[in-house]
């Protein structure tokens, strides 16, 4: 009594034969649940490392590592939709944005989808887990007053020296670095003034050449790819901006194919700092990320 019956023996034999046949055909078997997720992750990341840029790879690796550790996932059978949902909910409750939460979900789902594609797992257990809704914050936009614009331009002019003084914490700044502060400040102020007066986006201004401008006529020729109706248009320039651009052209050279102004990759970070200095935004520090955040 309680021993292995003939029916049990036949079922066990059929199951073993089916698993052997599946393995011969490259299909996943019931043993897939015992696969270590760390091993699958290692193989997956090895492939991804050859396909994506280094920065993306590091982020992907860190997110997968975080999910496996925090959700206590060791084997494939440990990946349960309800457990992952609970973990994602905890992230949101800690103040993480929906976009950030979704990057973790996408990382682990990508790993599992790859495992299914490589016939290591029979299915993706997280197919039923949906992304968090990413509702963008609505900001009320308004034009700057002349007084506010003046404060912002002044803050932009002084920005390079102000940021460097903060970085050196009151220490002596090398003269070789100080020499460039004035030029950097004038460039940043011009960028801000052009953005305000023309309505161009940062990337559009970054590609603007002197050939796009007719200072004699006081006109900016907008390229079709910039406009909403996808047609070339002409935008009148404010007389004060024309005067400023003439001065800048005389200083930097005005060949038609030359960029009007070079925008550093850190411009937006500097711009946010100038907004705070001008009293047009406030700065807070996120207790979770320890990073500075700007509230306009």
Cα–Cα dist 84/108, whole Å:
10
Residue 287 has pLDDT above 70, yes or no: no
Question: Residue 91 — φ and ψ, nearest 5°?
Answer: -60, -45
Band (pLDDT 50/70/90 cuts) for residue 33 is confident
* CA-to-CA separations, 36 to 72, 76, 263, in angstroms, rounded: 12, 6, 48
pLDDT digit string, tens, across residues 169-210: 878 888 888 888 899 999 999 999 999 998 888 888 888 999
- The string of pLDDT tens digits covering residues 85-118 is 999 988 888 878 888 999 999 999 999 999 999 9
**pTM > 0.85: yes or no:** no
**Confidence band (pLDDT; 50, 70, 90) for 266?**
confident
Residue 158: how many CA atoms within 13 Å on its side-chain side? 14
- pLDDT bracket for residue 138 (50, 70, 90): very low
| C-beta separation of 226 from 204 below 8 A | yes
């Amino acid at each position: 009594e309680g021993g292995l019956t003939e029916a049990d023996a036949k079922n066990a034999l059929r199951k073993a034969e089916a698993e052997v046949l599946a393995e011969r055909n490259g299909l996943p078997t019931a043993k897939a649940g015992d696969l270590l997720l760390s091993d699958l992750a290692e193989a997956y990341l090895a492939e991804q490392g050859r396909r994506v840029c280094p920065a993306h790879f590091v982020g992907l690796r860190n997110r997968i590592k975080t999910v496996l550790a925090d959700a206590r996932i060791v084997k494939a059978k440990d990946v349960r939709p309800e457990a992952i949902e609970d973990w994602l909910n905890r992230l949101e409750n800690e103040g993480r944005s929906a976009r950030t939460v979704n990057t973790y979900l996408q990382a682990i789902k990508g790993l599992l989808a790859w495992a299914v594609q490589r016939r290591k797992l029979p299915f993706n257990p997280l197919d039923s887990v949906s992304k968090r809704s990413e509702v963008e914050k609505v900001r009320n936009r308004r034009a700057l007053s002349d007084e506010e614009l003046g404060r912002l331009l002044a803050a932009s002019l002084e920005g390079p020296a102000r940021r460097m003084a903060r970085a050196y914490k009151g220490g002596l700044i090398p003269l070789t670095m100080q020499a460039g502060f004035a030029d950097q400040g004038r460039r940043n102020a011009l960028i801000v003034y052009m953005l305000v007066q023309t309505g161009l986006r940062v990337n559009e201004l970054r590609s603007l050449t002197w050939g796009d401008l007719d200072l004699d006529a006081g006109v900016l020729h907008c390229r079709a790819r910039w406009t909403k109706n996808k047609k070339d248009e002409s935008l009148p320039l404010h007389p004060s901006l024309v005067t400023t651009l003439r001065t800048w052209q005389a200083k930097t050279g005005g060949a038609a194919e030359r960029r009007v102004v070079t925008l550093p990759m850190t411009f937006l970070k500097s711009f946010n700092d100038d907004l705070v200095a001008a009293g047009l935004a406030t700065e807070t520090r996120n207790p979770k990320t320890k990073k500075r955040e700007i509230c306009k």
